[in-house]
Structure 1
Amino acid sequence: MKPWERVTQACTQRGIKPTARVLLVSIDGGTLQLFRNAQLVKSYLVSTSRRPPSNQKGSLGTPRGLHEIVERIGSGQPIGMVFKGRVPTGQHFSELPLSEQGLSGATDSPGSGNLITSRILWLGGLEDGVNRGGDCDTRSRYIYIHGTNHESRIGQNFSAGCILMRNLDIIELYEEVRTGDLVLIE
């Protein structure tokens, strides 16, 4: 089945009309595709969790299913800006000590040293009991699409559940999408 057909099928099954802009994230393929009016606009290389996909709280897995962008954060911030608690810190990731960047040695903690940089697209699930509500709520798990200080690792699975992009890519994508746009993660 072609990518856009998978989007329309997922929307039809859930009784949701596709938005003008839709993001399709392939966990296995490590890609994020941007569609506008059912046409593929661009495909990006991304990283997802190093753990198996999961919608459960505490799993650190990338959640599957139909989502929407619930908030766009970081407009106008410079490339590489670090965010903590969704607030810009005023520092580029290169200005932080190597230990905070996860560059001073390996750790076993998923996402360790992986900073949230440049832009944030905060996701909210649209499927009750699957990725919305209770112990499977994507929004309350703080699952984002965001930039990273580890751009050389994009394409590898190394996040703690978020979808990671190169900084220039997330800035470009951020300018294309709006709150309410659909995101299918499969």
Structure 2
Amino acid sequence: MPEKTPGIEIDLATQTLTLFADDAFSSITYPVSTALNGPGERQSSGCTPRGSHYVRAMVGAGVPANTVFVARRPTGEVYSTELARQFPERDWILSRILWLCGLESGKNRGPGVDSFRRFIYIHGTPDTEPMGIPRSHGCIRMRNTDVIDLYNRVRPGMPVLIR
């Protein structure tokens, strides 16, 4: 059996994210929720981009679980059902952010298709949101405990394959 290199693989069909650890022999799989609009690379499509990426930036080290982020900055809020009732239109980005950058020119990198400029993240979402079902606006949503666990295991530059 071929050895896996350390990295992240996101499977759109099964709605899972698998982290292949540094030892390349062990892995951890988490449930995720990707785009309601399905796969796609076009700017403003609301789709999850496919192909080779890497973790360009990591945001949220040390903040409490359920910390609310807007434009990659903590707002000072901690997500609650009361806050959700006050702001029902928000697309909640919680706990941690892994900001992805595409590696394939013309597919997920460059004008009209750039994953980084589309702000494609792996991030936490309210625990009331279902996993295993496409529901996001293009990002990869995870349970808060899972995204914190993942965040603690990865580093900037780690490869990410979305298939």
TM-score by length of 2: 0.92
SS in 2 for 1:129: coil
Q: In the TM superposition, what whole-angstrom CA distance separates every residue of 1:153-178 from its partner, at most 9, and x where no partner exists? A: 11111100000000000000000000
Select which of 41, 63, 73 maps to 2:59. 73
Counterpart in 2 of 1:179?
156
Superposed structure 1 runs of 4+ greater than 6 Å apart = none
Counterpart in 2 of 1:50?
36
Q: 1:154 to 1:183 in 2, by over 3 A?
A: same
Counterpart in 2 of 1:96?
83
Q: 1:55 to 1:44 in 2, by over 3 A?
A: same
Asked if the contact 2:18/2:30 (under 8 Å) is kept, the reply is yes
Which amino acid in structure 2 is aligned with residue 22 of structure 1? G
Give the distance between the partners of 1:40 and 1:130, measured in 2 at CA.
30
Structure 2 residue 116 is matched with structure 1 residue 131: no
Which amino acid in structure 2 is aligned with residue 90 of structure 1? G
Give the distance between the partners of 1:162 and 1:40, measured in 2 at CA.
25
Aligned residues between the structures = 161
Higher helix share: 1
SS in 2 for 1:68: strand
Which amino acid in structure 2 is aligned with residue 32 of structure 1? L
Give the superposed CA RMSD. 1.7
Specify every segment of 5 or more residues in structure 1 that has no aligned partner in the other structure, as ranges.
9-17, 103-111
Asked if the contact 1:151/1:166 (under 8 Å) is kept, the reply is no
Counterpart in 2 of 1:34?
19
Give the distance between the partners of 2:131 and 2:91, measured in 1 at CA.
11
Which sits farther off after the overlay, 149-158 or 83-92? 149-158
Q: 1:60 to 1:28 in 2, by over 3 A?
A: same
Counterpart in 2 of 1:108?
none
Identity %: 43
SS in 2 for 1:120: strand
Report 1:19-30 matches (<5 A): 21-30=6-15
Which amino acid in structure 1 is aligned with residue 14 of structure 2? G
SS in 2 for 1:39: coil
Give the distance between the partners of 1:154 and 1:145, measured in 2 at CA.
13
TM-score by length of 1: 0.81
Specify every segment of 5 or more residues in structure 2 that has no aligned partner in the other structure, as ranges.
none
SS in 1 for 2:137: coil
Asked if the contact 2:38/2:134 (under 8 Å) is kept, the reply is no
Asked if the contact 1:119/1:147 (under 8 Å) is kept, the reply is yes
Give the distance between the partners of 2:35 and 2:84, measured in 1 at CA.
24
